[in-house]
Amino acid sequence: MPNRREFLSYPAVAMFAPACASAPELDSALGALANMGERAPEEVAADESAWRDIQQAFTVDRSQINLNNGGVSPAPRLVQEAHKRRLDFSNENSARHLWEILEPQKEHVREGLARLFGSDKEEIAITRNASESLENCLLGAALGRGDEVVTTEQDYPRMLTALDQRARRDGIVVRKLSLPVPCEDFDEIVRRFEAALGERTKLILICHVINITGQIMPVRRIVELGRRRGIPVVVDGAHGFAHLDFRRDDLDCDFYGTSLHKWLFAPHGTGMLYVRRERIRELWPLFAADAKQSDDIRKFEEIGTHPAAPLLSIGEALLFHHGIGPARKEARMRYLRDHWAKRLLRNERVHLNTSLRREYSCGVANLRIDGLDMSKLRGHLWSEYKIYTTYIGPPLPAQTEGLRITPSVYTTLDELDRFCEAIETVLLEGLPA
């Protein structure tokens, strides 16, 4: 692993470093991690001294324990400061500063995202969130009456709503497959998809990582399956991007949409859409764009006046992400998950709706306890301990019911121990009536 000077000279990083007026913040945020040499990610993940500076790089309220980082993440101080500076600058002379100075800088961010994702920058659109990215794909695909889209019951509700609306409006047919929970058999998932594809199937929608259970999907295999039949796959990467260490070619997909305010720790209201170059023309943007832009990825950014500050501060989030190192971040997320999950699993009433095996999950996991109302448990954890979790329940598929636990790189082992102690107390004493 690089020292700070080497790190700042990386091409993906160097483009942001000069614009980053907060070098001391970067220094203190990355501190110990910058000098970890060539140690394996798993070894660094288990070294608490390496993570102390990262924990302090966030301004989270430590009187609470936030275990819902999967919903939306806080940004590190470095990103917050950059965001605020740009917001101030945008308000000094809005039209000139927004459109003449800040907007053109977006191209650096596009380049940085493309390098991290492993695509060309002309295939990356900067959006406001995963919903916008994916709705461009789901509503913009040319589908007619009777055409089928195959997806799963566990895909994100808003994305399913987009498809259901198309069913009502355009007469498409949406097939939602059920999936085993947890699933440690990719062959079974691929078999279910294969069996569902038919003559009229025109599109597949899958998650990279399912948000309610943390299940990693066999994206590349489903993409291969689809490609053999000429069916493109839209990948919902809301929980995959900047959480798992991967590149576009590992998935080989044609469409990938993600938020950046989840695992990249960019400002709220930031997202990314990847569309393979050859497919840009065929996809209609959500907001109308000029015919001249048909092959231009920027046609997905024609949303009218919008703030530049969050979008440009994706740059600092990229800097922070590269500073941690994608492989070390993934390893740390798994380490944190194992820390709480393996302790609680010692009690035979505790189960996970998530596999603990490396290829099937990472930092997001879903917990279930025999004989306990998980919705009430969530309320109790908050009211009694100020521990914030997510209840997964109806109308989501019944076999996914549980508490979703998503720590983040800033979460301390002590916080996870306090969470475990709270659950252990409930296991002993039950929930208050």
Structure tokens that stand for 161 in this block: 């709503």
3-state secondary structure 228-267: HCCCCEEEECCCCECCECCCHHHHCCCEEEEECCCCCCCC
**Which one-letter amino acid corresponds to residue 189?**
I
Q: Is 135 in the site for ligand PLP (CB under 6 A)?
A: no
Report the residue number, 146 or 157, with the smaller CB distance to ligand PLP.
157
Report the residue number, 136 or 259, with the smaller CB distance to ligand PLP.
259
Q: Coil, strand or helix: which one is 44?
A: helix
Measured CA to CA, the distance from residue 122 to residue 114 in angstroms comes to: 8
Report the residue number, 7 or 300, with the smaller CB distance to ligand PLP.
300
Binding characters for ligand PLP, 254-273, by CB under 6 A (x = yes): -----x--------------
Structure tokens that stand for 167 in this block: 């069913």
Q: Is 354 in the site for ligand PLP (CB under 6 A)?
A: no
Among 68, 69, 129, 313, binds ligand PLP (CB under 6 A): 129
Which range, of 5-13, 128-136, 187-195, 293-301, touches ligand PLP by CB under 6 A? 128-136
Report the residue number, 273 or 297, with the smaller CB distance to ligand PLP.
273
Q: Is 130 in the site for ligand PLP (CB under 6 A)?
A: yes
Q: Is 239 in the site for ligand PLP (CB under 6 A)?
A: yes
Cβ atoms 357, 351 nearer than 8 A: no
Structure tokens that stand for 321 in this block: 């992400």
Residues 6+ apart with CB under 8 A from 291: none
Report the residue number, 22 or 136, with the smaller CB distance to ligand PLP.
136
Name the burial class of residue 240, with classes exposed (0-12), middle (13-18) and buried (19+) by CB atoms within 10 angstroms of its CB. Answer: buried
* Residue of 395, 377, 429, 410 lying closest to 161 (CA atoms): 395
Q: Is 361 in the site for ligand PLP (CB under 6 A)?
A: no
In the complex, the smallest distance separating the C-beta of residue 400 from ligand PLP, rounded to whole angstroms, is 13
Give the β-pairing of 402-405 and 65-66. Answer: unpaired
| φ, ψ for residue 16, nearest 5 deg | -95, -25
Among 33, 223, 238, 350, binds ligand PLP (CB under 6 A): 238
Which range, of 232-240, 355-363, 370-378, 421-429, touches ligand PLP by CB under 6 A? 232-240
Report the residue number, 129 or 313, with the smaller CB distance to ligand PLP.
129
Which range, of 182-190, 223-231, 234-242, 329-337, touches ligand PLP by CB under 6 A? 234-242
* Residue of 109, 149, 105, 117 lying closest to 275 (CA atoms): 117
Beta bridge partners of 216: 209
Contact residues for ligand PLP, defined by CB under 6 A: 71, 129-131, 156, 158, 207, 211, 236, 238-239, 259
